Amino acid sequence: QVQLVQSGGGLVQAGGSLRLSCAASGRTFSPYAMGWFRQAPGKEREFVVVTQWSGGTTYYADSVKGRFTFSRDNAKDTVYLQMNSLKPEDTAVYFCAADWRRGVPYSASGYAYWGQGTQVTVSS
């Protein structure tokens, strides 16, 4: 069993930056796919960035491309989401997710393991 524990997030003004972290524990962390998703009030959970863990392509949602960056620290079994030039429409609860099944799905339903979620609020 794997646990994903998130940190970071908070309140920031538009144009500002935040970094989210997601630390894995409980088993050797080598998922097939990893990603960050977000969910705004009244909306479905949507993908922000997904990647194939073993050196595959990283895919960003068009809405965050050029502003958000996925990175990882293998020694710490931790992934990060650096968010720059934040906009009010980025306000949401952000989740990290992982799955060991083959494939890099864009849908939240394709991920079995989730972090607890962290609130990001961007004020205008």
Closest alpha carbon to 69 in 94, 93, 24, 36: 36
Residue 114 reports pLDDT greater than 80:
yes
Residue 29 reports pLDDT greater than 90:
no
Q: What is the pLDDT, as a whole number, of residue 8?
A: 96
Residue 117 reports pLDDT greater than 90:
yes
Over the chain, what is the mean pLDDT? Answer: 95
Q: Are 20 and 7 in contact (CB under 8 A)?
A: yes
Integer Rg of the chain from CA: 14
CA distance 42 to 8: 23
Residue 56 reports pLDDT greater than 80:
no
